[in-house]
Amino acid sequence: MPRYTVHVRGEWLAVPCGDAQLTVGWLGREAVRRYIRNKPDNGGFASVDDVRFLVRRCKGLGLLDHEDLLEVALEDNEFVEVVIEGDAMSPDFIPSQPEGVYLYSKYREPEKYIALDGDSLTTEDLVSLGKGHYKIKLTPTAEKKVQKSREVIDSIVKEKTVVYGITTGFGKFARTVIPVSVGKPLIPERCRMLLALRINVLAKGYSGISLETLKQVIEVFNASCLPYVPEKGTVGASGDLAPLSHLALGLIGEGKMWSPKSGWADAKYVLAAHGLKPIVLKPKEGLALINGTQMITSLGCEAVERASAIARQADIVAALTLEVLKGTTKAFDTDIHAVRPHRGQVEVAFRFRSLLDSDHHPSEIAESHRFCDRVQDAYTLRCCPQVHGVANDTIAFVKHIITTEINSATDNPMVFASRGETISGGNFHGEYPAKALDYLAIGIHELAAISERRIERLCNPSLSELPAFLVAEGGLNSGFMIAHCTAAALVSENKALCHPSSVDSLSTSAATEDHVSMGGWAARKALRVVEHVEQVLAIELLAACQGIEFLRPLKTTTPLEKVYDLVRSVVRPWIKDRFMAPDIEAAHRLLLEQKVWEVAAPYIEKYRMEHIPESRPVSPTAFSLEFLHKKSPKIPESEDL
Residues carrying an active site annotation: 164
C-alpha to C-alpha distance for 516 and 535, rounded to whole angstroms: 32
Q: Which of 194, 224, 227 minimizes the C-alpha distance to 298?
A: 194
What is the torsion angle, in degrees rounded to the nearest 10, for the CA atoms of residue 308, residue 311, residue 315 and residue 316?
Answer: 70
45 CB neighbour count, 10 Å cutoff: 16
Query: Is omega for the bond preceding 283 within 30 degrees of 0, making it cis?
Result: no
Task: Please calculate the CA angle 197-199-202 and round it to the nearest 5 degrees.
Answer: 115
359: left (phi over 0), alpha (psi -120 to 50) or beta: alpha
- Which 3-state string (H, E, C) describes 14-46? EEECCCCCCEHHHHHHHHHHHHHHHCCCHHHCC
Task: Please calculate the CA angle 274-277-283 and round it to the nearest 5 degrees.
Answer: 145
Inter-CA distances, 486 with 253, 326, 387, 492, 536, Å: 45, 25, 22, 10, 8
C-alpha to C-alpha distance for 204 and 462, rounded to whole angstroms: 61
Element of type H or E holding 563 = helix 558-568
Q: Which of 229, 217, 222 minimizes the C-alpha distance to 277?
A: 217
The helix/strand/coil state of 631 is helix
515: left (phi over 0), alpha (psi -120 to 50) or beta: beta
Give the amino acid at 192.
Answer: R
Q: Which of 416, 426, 398 minimizes the C-alpha distance to 204?
A: 416
| Contact assessment for residue 114 and residue 87, using Cβ atoms and an 8 Å cutoff | no
C-alpha to C-alpha distance for 374 and 505, rounded to whole angstroms: 52
For residue 193, how many C-alpha atoms fall within 13 Å in the half-sphere facing its CB?
Answer: 27
C-alpha to C-alpha distance for 362 and 207, rounded to whole angstroms: 60
C-alpha to C-alpha distance for 305 and 163, rounded to whole angstroms: 40
C-alpha to C-alpha distance for 426 and 237, rounded to whole angstroms: 9
The contacts of residue 120 (CB under 8 Å, 6+ apart) are 407
Long-range contacts: 337-343, Cβ < 8 Å, 24+? 337/385, 342/389, 342/390, 342/393, 343/389, 343/392, 343/393, 343/396
Write down the H helix ranges in 160-293: 188-202, 211-222, 241-251, 267-273, 285-290
| Contact assessment for residue 35 and residue 8, using Cβ atoms and an 8 Å cutoff | yes
Q: What's the N-to-C CA distance of the chain in angstroms?
A: 107
